[in-house]
Chain A
Amino acid sequence: MELNKKLLFIYLILFFIILISFSSKISDGYLSHNSPSYFLARDNFWGMNQIDEITDSGGAKWVAPHYNYGYNNSYHSRSPLNIFIPTMVTSFSGLESYDGFLASQLMITLFLIFAFFALIWNINKKIAYFSLPLMLFLYKFPFNTFITWGCQPTSYNLFFVFLTTIILYHIIKNPLNKLIIMFTILNAVGFLSHGREFLYFIFFLFILAIYLLIHKKIKIHLIIKILISLMLIVPLIFGFIPILIFSLLSKTGLTSTLNYKTVGDAIFFSDFGLIKYILILGLILSLFLLFNKKYNKFNYLTLFSGSLLLLTYAIYFGYTKGALQIRHFWPIILSPFLGLPIYYIYLRLKKYRSIIVLTICIIILVLICVIAPPKEVPKDAMMTSHIWEGVLYSQNQLDFNDSILVINGGQMRFGFFSLNKKFISVIDIYQYINSNGKLNIHQDSEFDQLKHDGNYIYNGGFDWVSLSNITIPSKKLKDFDYIFINMYTQKELQKYTQLFSQELQKESNYTKIFNTPHIIILKK
């Protein structure tokens, strides 16, 4: 029996309106800004930096020399395609890289929701509708930190994983169809977007194969076909293979700068509020279906969502790095466990069941809106237009070989100053405050120069050198050409940055050449 069309329409419209309203918490109504906005962690700056790198070097193979200490034979070490997609959008639309990056992050959330909805839709249309309310949590804290803190590669590959899961479902249903080509392409692009989620998909495939073999729903020749298709990924990702091998061998590079533990620790099941009880009920129901002797289509979803859920708990088995990142996407991945109990209510009811369950869904939507609406995300918690002016000034006015000392502090101790495309050293001022509360920096204090993010220098053949292994001599305070003082620090640190600036101008031969409320640039 079909759902009541009018009520379903109202429900979907309401969902769409709430979706827009929730996502607008990460927007001030403008697409283009004067400075990076809603960037709350370093990985987002890294992301926009990658867009600039690809734009400047014209591709994702070589890195433009001004990003790598002047080396013009250095290779990108990161998965290329997750950043190539927003780069082309940015180039086409003429947006600044930071605006293009954030906007494409917001767009991918929409596509993720659409893709997972389609996945559930293929298995059970009603459960797909009933699962929608949970997906709105994607825009709520702490889940939304994947947009503002930066889990961009994961979100892209997860999108591809959702699509391959849809295709796999159809391949199992009809092994003769040609979708296997799409399966190979999407997996390859997923791998080139971020390899980790591809490995999660393989984990799911393994569990699914065991389940289907037990239920005699899959034949060996189909497993071989899928294995061949997975092997065909290799020629499609060959451009990235040397980097992959080299980075795995050297165990350097390829590690993201995001502090996963902090992020992961901040996301728990309890973040779903009261809905967590429905989710637990859904989980129990789905496990009951899974271990039932009778085969059920829904088990495909249980295995997929379940395997990804299981991986987020791999932290307790020593796998800490990427496991917790997936928790950001719980609102999507676990949504079938909300849809399933509602579907059971639907099945149990005899009269007006369509109206009752859709009303329940609408009530859940309204409750999410009223009880737990997402909070406004601060626009300039890390970067202000004043700081950005300073960054632009140093990019445009200073020479490539000029050395810059960046004085940071507090929450601003992030490496986005690598955007300056110069030789820079970044120090956190609070590390130089001694126990007497005085600044412990003198003319002969030495500072290490900032290491770029793990790209490789290629000298032909098998001669690859990681940039992180190259020694760059440290510099004394008196040897720096410019000092970039960030005044947008935590209040208790501001007096130190001000004091430091005054001392430099008084005792050394530095002059102030740039001054905004948040940034001072001194020249020797």
Chain B
Amino acid sequence: MEKIKKYNMKKDLIYFGVFLALFFIFLKSLYYKESILVLVKFFSSYVYLYFIPGFLIMINFHKQLDVLTRLVLAIGIGFSVQSLLVYYINWFTEIPFQQFYLITPLIISLIAGLYFYKSKLTALFKK
């Protein structure tokens, strides 16, 4: 816990990049006969729908957790927030999920990112 005093965004991004690379290597090795386009689409579905929103939410917890823990939690949090949001939007509005599930990761990421930079933004607005 003591080690995580100064936040290093670059380190987080490197870890995230390595994780994505390993994930893709895993996919490519498992489905080595599959066309690259199909693989990229499958890979992107996880990255866009779950990993990026989860990663951006978890950077807000950089003071409490180390980078590896945040990374693994990012997967679960991505799964959770995205699926919970889509489930309830559909539940309340009865709009088919196909019409909005591609926008929700963007909204989640935007809110998580803005929250992370809120102190900087507040200072900017004060100026």
Contact = CB atoms under 8 A, between A and B. Distances in A.
A174 B75 CA distance: 23
Interface residues of A, number: 61
Interface stretch (B6-14, B24-32, B106-114, B119-127): B24-32
A111 interface: yes
Contact of B45 (A28, A54, A93): A93
Q: Which of B42, B61, B96, B98 has the most A CB atoms < 10 Å from its CB?
A: B42
A22 to B, nearest CB: 10
Of the listed residues B33, B50, B73, the one surrounded by the most CB atoms of chain A closer than 10 A to its CB is B73
B98 A91 contact: yes
A23 interface: yes
B49 interface: yes
Interface string A69-108: 0000000000011001101110111110000000100110
B34 A32 contact: yes
Given A80-B87, A111-B75, A185-B84, A31 B38 contact: yes
A379 to B, nearest CB: 13
B39 A89 contact: no
Contacts of B66: 122
B22 interface: yes
Interface string A54-66: 1101111110000
A189 B78 CA distance: 11
Contact of A114 (B30, B75, B102): B75
B73 A88 contact: no
Contacts of B86: 84, 88
A320 interface: no
B80 A31 contact: no
B20 interface: no
A27 B84 CA distance: 31
A179 B60 CA distance: 10
B80 A186 contact: yes
Given A81-B84, A114-B72, A185-B80, A59 B96 contact: yes
Given A58-B90, A118-B68, A122-B66, 14 more contacts: A20-B26, A24-B29, A29-B33, A61-B94, A62-B94, A81-B83, A92-B44, A111-B72, A115-B72, A163-B72, A170-B64, A185-B84, A189-B83, A189-B84
30 contacts: A23-B30, A24-B30, A27-B30, A28-B33, A29-B31, A30-B34, A32-B34, A58-B97, A59-B87, A81-B84, A84-B87, A84-B97, A88-B45, A89-B46, A91-B98, A92-B45, A92-B102, A93-B44, A111-B76, A114-B75, A166-B72, A166-B73, A177-B61, A179-B65, A182-B77, A185-B80, A185-B84, A186-B80, A236-B84, A239-B91
Interface of B: 1, 22-23, 25-26, 29-34, 38-39, 41-42, 44-46, 48-50, 61, 63-66, 68-69, 71-73, 75-77, 79-84, 86-88, 90-91, 94-99, 101-102
